[in-house]
Amino acid sequence: MSLYDYFPHPRISSRQAHPPRTVREHHKVGFNGTLAKWITEGVGTMWCAYAFAALSLVALPQAIKGGALPIVQWISQTFLQLVLLSVIMVGQQVISAASDERAVQTYQDAETILHEQQQVQAHLAAQDALLEELAARLDVSLDCSADLPGKTPPEAMGPEN
């Protein structure tokens, strides 16, 4: 007889088989994915932003000759669109790298908590064994199974658990 039946949650084994994927790992699919990744990484650099800024300056003299409206159009349609495209992409790369780092840390924290809880389970099992031995020596019944949580396996609890 056992005071407590430990049922490991089914997610524990699947977590070990499938660790979290980073953003970079999601985009390694075939030729199109590789090409898109290569272009994105190339355009999403500050050097590309500098190159786009230099390219947009080619049209600046013509815009200045045209007056106020062409200057506004040059700023909004040429300079901002070209330069901000690369700057925004650089920002997204920084954000996704930080997000990946947080995800990995969260995963490692969950692994740590899981390990600690498994140690608690082992400790409780050792205590249960000692209590059972003491109860047997004293000829005392330990049948309190109806009052103890944990008698229902996780798979019987439903998907939300």
Question: Residues 46-62: pLDDT tens digits?
Answer: 998 899 899 889 989 99
Q: What is the spatial distance between Cα 107 and Cα 102, in angstroms, rounded to a whole number?
A: 9
What pLDDT does residue 27 have? 57
0.85 exceeded by pTM: no
Reply yes or no on whether the pLDDT at 115 is more than 80. Answer: yes
The CA–CA distances, whole Å, from 139 to 70, 88, 134 equal 98, 74, 8
Confidence of residue 158 (pLDDT cuts 50, 70, 90): low
Task: Please state the domain extents for the chain.
Answer: 23-138
What pLDDT does residue 41 have? 83
Q: What is the spatial distance between Cα 31 and Cα 120, in angstroms, rounded to a whole number?
A: 49
Reply yes or no on whether the pLDDT at 160 is more than 60. Answer: no
Burial class of 15 by CB neighbour count within 10 A (0 to 12, 13 to 18, 19+): middle
Please enumerate in sequence order all residues whose Cβ is within 8 A of that of 36, keeping only pairs 6 or more positions apart, or say none.
27
Q: What is the spatial distance between Cα 132 and Cα 1, in angstroms, rounded to a whole number?
A: 8
Average pLDDT score over the chain: 80
CA triple 35-40-43, angle to 5 deg: 125
Q: What residue type is 142 in one-letter code?
A: L
What pLDDT does residue 13 have? 72
pLDDT, tens digit, 9 for 90 and up, residues 20-49: 776 666 655 678 877 887 888 888 889 988
Q: Which of 105-114, 124-133, 152-161 has the lowest mean pLDDT?
A: 152-161
